Amino acid sequence: MARPRHLLGGAKVTTNDYRKTPELLSRLSDEQHRVTQQDGTEPAYRNEYWDNHEPGIYVDIVSGQPLFSSTDKYDSGTGWPSFTAPIAADAVATKVDRTHGMIRTEVRSAGADSHLGHLFHDGPAAAGGQRYCMNSAAMRFVPASRLVEEGYGQFGALFDTDQDSTKGANA
């Protein structure tokens, strides 16, 4: 089944995968390109989503692939959006990152291979102990109230909203 893909600004595209293309990359801001394609990191507390408490999902800024839900977001005190788990096990991929004199676990989007951030094992113990520390510049937030309209209706059941989550299930 074809999945909807949303570009910057919410334009909907139907696709069978979430691979990056030159066209998609050309739509990124300089900061989004630096973070997602050059493994950059944005400043703590000076990024769009570190303090966002609105219900919704976070998707890859490059491909529109669903990555994280606000239901798994928490305040880690780090100044970056942090999550206890991805929205689906196969939404992200990890690899060893040996840059900056450290050994860390890098998190990338599974479809477009966008650099998202890093995984640490100091998250809330009750939620599994993981902290997915992400860059806002690597993601786009889709409010729960717009999930159906933007083609992500299948995630509506995650939120206590008045929307009919079945409307966009096959979008």
pLDDT tens for each residue of 81-124? 999 999 999 999 999 999 889 999 999 999 999 999 999 999 99
Question: Domain range holding 100?
Answer: 3-158
pLDDT score, position 165: 41
Residues of the chain with pLDDT under 70: 1-16, 161-171
CA gap 38, 171 in Å, rounded: 32
Number of domains in the chain: 1
Burial zone of 140 (CB within 10 Å; 0-12 exposed, 13-18 middle, 19+ buried): buried
Report if residue 168 sits inside a domain: no
pTM: 0.85
pLDDT for the residue 17: 72
Q: Say whether 133 is catalytic.
A: yes
Which of these, 44, 43, 35, lies nearest to 140 by C-alpha position?
Answer: 35
The answer as to whether 167 is a domain residue is no
Q: Is residue 165 part of a domain?
A: no
46 assigned to some structural domain = yes
What pLDDT does residue 7 have?
Answer: 45
Exactly one of 35, 116, 133, 144 is catalytic; name it. 133
pLDDT of residue 111: 94
